[in-house]
Chain A
Amino acid sequence: MANLASFFNALPGAVSQGLIWGIMAIGVYITFKLLDVADLTVDGSFCTGGAACVMLITSGYNVWLAILAAILVGMMAGLATGLLHTACGIPAILAGILTQLGLWSVNLAIMGMKANQSLNVSNHELLVSLRYLQDVSKGERPIWQHPIFVAALFTLVLVVILYWFFGTELGSAIRATGANPNMARAQGINTNFNIVLGLMISNGLVALSGALLAQYQSFADINMGRGSIVIGLAAVIIGEVAFSHIFHNFGLKLAAVSIGSIIYYVVIQAVVSLSEINTNYLKLISALIVAIFLTIPYWKGKYFAKPVKRGGSSHA
């Protein structure tokens, strides 16, 4: 099958895209799973990161500085949501929506009141780019500039840092806040502070992911974050369903989120490459993928669980 061959050729691109979105998904994991807050800021802060990164690079700043700035503005978006939630008493989901709404204008302002800012890959040295996929395979660039390698390295470093951080007293306090806020307060933890901090870390990661994606695709677009929360949740859920039985360590759980994101993008790429399906149905297919991954564990428990004796579960 020619289609199958083209799908395998397209895999590196799909995997690198999955890895880049995986960083965003780890951000979503922090709010959704650890803090137990549904944070919708993501749709806005993803674009904020991309916009800040593209604008700084095109103004001649260093790539690393641009990425750092992207993380910082993302954290500020998280701070805004956090303060709206804790200081102003707005329910978390609404606070996120408000920030997301406001960020639309902020993002336009960052991009010089334009909806789309382009980053010419021929004129700037970037960390990741769709172009580098071809350059590496042609041997024009060293293998370590392959987007998969760069994005995987970013993910690995982030997982290590987050693993360390959530083991510290401060990180544990964030986890305790999400697990049981009343108990956490009883232990003398300032839950409001921890919610704000968690939202800042999460949105910093989301903006970092946006900055990498903007470099990867060579442009920042006002619409680029739209619907990203769905991709983030999909990655979290796919990662959890696929690996929850074997990954118990916290660091591995974070890695599972990233792998979940890769799976998501490989499936999407398969749909585009293999089938004759009209790509207008892509969103419906995305919804189906997530629904399937949510259904499998439920049905497995309900219909396929063997009526074994107590204690028999250890056979696996």
Chain B
Amino acid sequence: MKKVLAVAMTAVMGLSLAACGGSSSSAASSSAASTSAPASSAAASAASGSGETYTVGICQLVTHDALDAATQGFKDALEEALPGQVKFDEQNAANDPNTCNTIVNAFVADDVDLILANATASLQAAAAATEDIPVLGTSVTEYGVALNIPDFNGTVGTNVSGTSDLAPLDQQAAMIQELFPDAQKVGLLYCSAEPNSEYQVNTVAGYLQDAGLEVEMFAFTDSNDASAVTQSACDYADVIYVPTDNTVASNTGIIDGICQPAGVPVVAGEEGICAGCGVATLSISYYDLGVTTGKMAAKILTGEADVSEMPIEYAPNFTKKYNPTIAEALGITIPDDYEPIVTEEEPAA
């Protein structure tokens, strides 16, 4: 009896392997077809500029304002460049990095023409899954760190390129000194689960220390200990800096609830966070970042540019912005070259 079962079991395993063999060969033939497709599409677009349709897979790590705006900007730009020619397959990993694998696996099996990887884990999964399909990242801060490329020179050089959401950190540090010339101690508040935040706070800390300020890091794990860590940051610091941190973005209510009563101003790395708990920020628009990425995608799809030669691009412009409500509450005078953050704003196209 046991032997029969063992045989049945082996058969099941064998069958599953055979099934995979079959499908991978079909994947091979379809990928062979795809290698010829870009060439022909390039020719077609050169001739008439229409006719070809493309499928673009979008893998977004989590739903929040900044990432949503980047995806929207990407889609809008691509729609404008290739009207009616692009079909989007939009998937969201609900903040589970493992789900990115499943999503990207489906895209690769589907043999999409391009993958947009929104946020770091999506980019890593996409870069691991394929070396043929062009992958564009967005809302990723440092590509060299995200993809483990030593001596990164600005161009990945494989099938990967994209846009970085890095606002110039030296200017952010300068902003802290400009707004709060009397501040002696700066607390850097971030979430220890965020790959990009660590890099940003270290860089900003370096600039501030060079300027002779005292800095200390305050890292929290998740929303459960955010309030305790924020409290100790308030006790320590004259000014608090928060980077473009997704967890901070979800917990601005907690931070504002502690910092405002304590009279400690917060300088934020990004506009969404600043609207929730900050006094001022050097802002990039994620929508504009998505538009930049979408324009890169259009060039790749039409064959105008080769993804391996495209350097990482940055947001087109930066704006100094401030939060009028909190600035007023804390009695801070804001210089004239800062724009107020309008709540319920639509990102400017």
A58 touches B131 (CB 8 A): no
A280 to B25, CA, bound (A): 32
B102 touches A17 (CB 8 A): yes
At the interface, yes or no: A295 with Cβ under 8 Å from chain B? no
A259 to B221, CA, bound (A): 35
At the interface, yes or no: A244 with Cβ under 8 Å from chain B? no
A278 to B60, CA, bound (A): 12
Q: How near does chain A come to B155, taking the closest CB pair, in angstroms?
A: 15
Q: Which of B103-111, B248-256, B308-316 is the contact stretch?
A: B103-111
Given contacts A8-B23, A130-B101, contact A283 B195 (CB under 8 A): no
Q: Which residues does chain A contribute within 8 Å of B124, judged by CB atoms?
A: 116, 118, 217-219
A15 touches B198 (CB 8 A): no
A227 to B93, CA, bound (A): 14
B103 touches A221 (CB 8 A): no
A246 touches B24 (CB 8 A): no
At the interface, yes or no: A265 with Cβ under 8 Å from chain B? yes
Given contacts A17-B105, A226-B96, A272-B103, contact A134 B120 (CB under 8 A): no
Given contacts A137-B24, A252-B6, contact A118 B145 (CB under 8 A): yes
Contact string against B for A residues 109-121, beta-carbon threshold 8 Å, 1 for contact and 0 otherwise: 0000111111111
Most buried by B among A115, A130, A136, A249: A115
Q: Which of B9-17, B39-47, B172-180, B293-301 is the contact stretch?
A: B9-17
A224 touches B97 (CB 8 A): yes
At the interface, yes or no: B81 with Cβ under 8 Å from chain A? no
Q: How near does chain B come to A226, taking the closest CB pair, in angstroms?
A: 7
A97 to B14, CA, bound (A): 39
Q: Which residues, 1 to 43 on B, are CB-close (under 8 Å) to A?
A: 2, 5-6, 8-9, 12-13, 16-17, 19-21, 23-28, 30-31
Given contacts A217-B125, A265-B102, contact A9 B192 (CB under 8 A): no
Given contacts A259-B12, A269-B105, contact A121 B128 (CB under 8 A): yes
Contact string against B for A residues 217-242, beta-carbon threshold 8 Å, 1 for contact and 0 otherwise: 11101111011000000000000000
B125 touches A9 (CB 8 A): no
Most buried by B among A123, A143, A279: A279
Q: How near does chain A come to B236, taking the closest CB pair, in angstroms?
A: 19
At the interface, yes or no: A145 with Cβ under 8 Å from chain B? no
A262 touches B101 (CB 8 A): no
A116 touches B120 (CB 8 A): yes
A120 touches B103 (CB 8 A): no
Q: How near does chain A come to B72, taking the closest CB pair, in angstroms?
A: 16
A interface, size bucket: 35 or more
Contact string against A for B residues 109-135, beta-carbon threshold 8 Å, 1 for contact and 0 otherwise: 111000000001100110111111000
Q: Which residues does chain A contribute within 8 Å of B101, judged by CB atoms?
A: 13, 17, 130, 216-217
Contact string against B for A residues 158-177, beta-carbon threshold 8 Å, 1 for contact and 0 otherwise: 00000000000000000000
Q: Which residues does chain A contribute within 8 Å of B21, judged by CB atoms?
A: 143
Q: Which of A73-81, A146-154, A189-197, A198-206 is the contact stretch?
A: A146-154
Given contacts A115-B192, A121-B128, A123-B148, contact A104 B221 (CB under 8 A): yes
At the interface, yes or no: A139 with Cβ under 8 Å from chain B? yes
- Nearest chain-A residue to B95 (Cβ)? A223
A111 to B6, CA, bound (A): 42
A131 touches B23 (CB 8 A): no
A282 touches B26 (CB 8 A): no
- Nearest chain-A residue to B121 (Cβ)? A221
The binding surface of chain A is classed by DSSP as: helix
A272 touches B195 (CB 8 A): no
At the interface, yes or no: B211 with Cβ under 8 Å from chain A? no
Most buried by A among B20, B93, B193: B20
A134 touches B131 (CB 8 A): yes
Contact string against A for B residues 83-105, beta-carbon threshold 8 Å, 1 for contact and 0 otherwise: 00000000111111111111111
At the interface, yes or no: B349 with Cβ under 8 Å from chain A? no
At the interface, yes or no: B147 with Cβ under 8 Å from chain A? yes
Q: Which residues does chain B contribute within 8 Å of A283, judged by CB atoms?
A: 94, 96
At the interface, yes or no: A95 with Cβ under 8 Å from chain B? no
A120 in complex: contacting residue of B63, B95, B148, B221, CB < 8 Å: B148
Q: Which residues does chain B contribute within 8 Å of A224, judged by CB atoms?
A: 97-98
Give me the interface of B with A, judged by CB distance under 8 Å. Answer: 2, 5-6, 8-9, 12-13, 16-17, 19-21, 23-28, 30-31, 63, 91-106, 108-111, 120-121, 124-125, 127-132, 145-149, 158, 191-195, 197-198, 221
Q: Which 10 A-B pairs have the closest CB atoms?
A: A9-B109, A116-B195, A13-B105, A218-B128, A10-B109, A137-B24, A118-B148, A6-B110, A130-B129, A120-B148
Q: A13-B109, A17-B105, A108-B192 provided; 10 other pairs, C-beta below 8 A?
A: A9-B110, A11-B20, A12-B23, A12-B27, A104-B221, A148-B16, A149-B17, A152-B17, A279-B99, A283-B96
Query: Can you show 29 pairs from A to B with CB atoms below 8 A apart?
Result: A6-B109, A9-B23, A9-B110, A11-B23, A13-B129, A17-B101, A115-B193, A115-B194, A115-B195, A116-B121, A130-B104, A130-B129, A131-B128, A133-B105, A134-B130, A134-B132, A137-B28, A138-B31, A146-B20, A148-B17, A217-B125, A218-B125, A221-B195, A222-B193, A248-B2, A252-B9, A255-B9, A272-B91, A282-B96
